[in-house]
């Protein structure tokens, strides 16, 4: 286990893993339609294909609400 991980509680470990997976996942770009949208920083996403930048939720381009 790395030092950054949550130490106790299965549910907390699963939630942390889900957030880490969302942060590193590729998303579909709204303008060009390719799966080249990637998280650049907190709530900032940039497409590697067309270069467009979007603001979204903290870890994903859209929120569940």
pLDDT band at 62 (very low <50, low <70, confident <90, very high): confident
Mean pLDDT of 32-36: 92
Question: Of 36, 40, 39, which is closest to residue 48 (Cα–Cα)?
Answer: 36
CA distances from 40 to 53, 54, 55 (A): 9, 10, 10
Mean pLDDT of 50-63: 91
What integer pLDDT is reported at residue 3 of this predicted model?
58
Cβ-contact 15, 21 below 8 angstroms: no
Q: Spell out the domains of the chain, with CATH numbers in brackets.
A: 24-65 (2.20.25.30)
**H/E segment holding residue 14:** helix 10-24
Counting every residue written for the chain, the total comes to: 65
């Amino acid at each position: 286990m790395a030092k950054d991980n949550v130490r106790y509680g299965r549910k907390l470990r699963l939630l942390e893993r889900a957030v880490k997976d969302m942060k590193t996942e590729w998303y579909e770009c709204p303008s060009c339609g390719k799966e080249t949208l990637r998280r650049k920083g907190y709530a900032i996403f940039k497409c590697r294909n067309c270069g467009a930048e979007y603001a979204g939720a903290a870890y994903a381009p859209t929120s569940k609400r």
